[in-house]
Amino acid sequence: MSIDPTPPPLPEPLAKEIGSKPDAATSSTVLSMYRTRLAGYRTDVSKLRSHLANERTHLAYLRTTVSLIGFGITINRFSLYLVQQKLAPPEHIELLRGTGNAGLGMVVLGLALLIWSIYRYWRVSADIDKGLYVSRQRGVMITSVGLFLLGGLTALWLLLF
């Protein structure tokens, strides 16, 4: 498969306009104006793509939030059901109450993630409009380490108690 190295042809109206100009300076000016309009169009398309990517990222956060809240409620309600119906052995009752609290913690975590994702969406959207790229690694690292510690402590708490 080979690629044609010749540049694409000019749009027909532009080629006719340049062809009717007697000097190179005028046709060069016309080409410069065309390139400027084309660059502006590409910038607008690039901003549009960036905003759409920001929305997709926000929707991913929303899906994660819904999953955390739904799973947390399920864990909480199921452990409560097992305790109330006396379907669990007596030595596991305290563990099930703790599991219910872990489910409640997942709901709170999901709500906190929702608030953070809204803030992040607004902040990135404003950066795109300003034409800035600001790497916000600190927020990502704090969230990741916090989730790791919270998840690890919850797992230890459930396994040891």
- Of 96, 108, 97, 98, the C-alpha closest to 71 is 108
Question: Which pLDDT does position 119 carry in this prediction?
Answer: 93
Amino acid 66: pLDDT: 94
> Greater confidence, 148 or 23?
148
Q: Indicate the DSSP class of residue 8.
A: P
Where are the domains positioned within the chain? 56-160
Q: What is the mean pLDDT of the chain?
A: 80
The model carries a pTM of 0.64
Give the CA distances from residue 142 to residues 66, 99, 146, 147, 158, in Å, rounded to whole numbers and listed in that order: 21, 25, 6, 8, 24
Q: State pLDDT tens for residues 87-104.
A: 777 777 777 777 778 888
Give whole-number Cα distances, 32 to 29, 110, 120, 133, in Å.
5, 52, 39, 28
Q: How far apart are CA 74 and CA 86, in angstroms?
A: 18
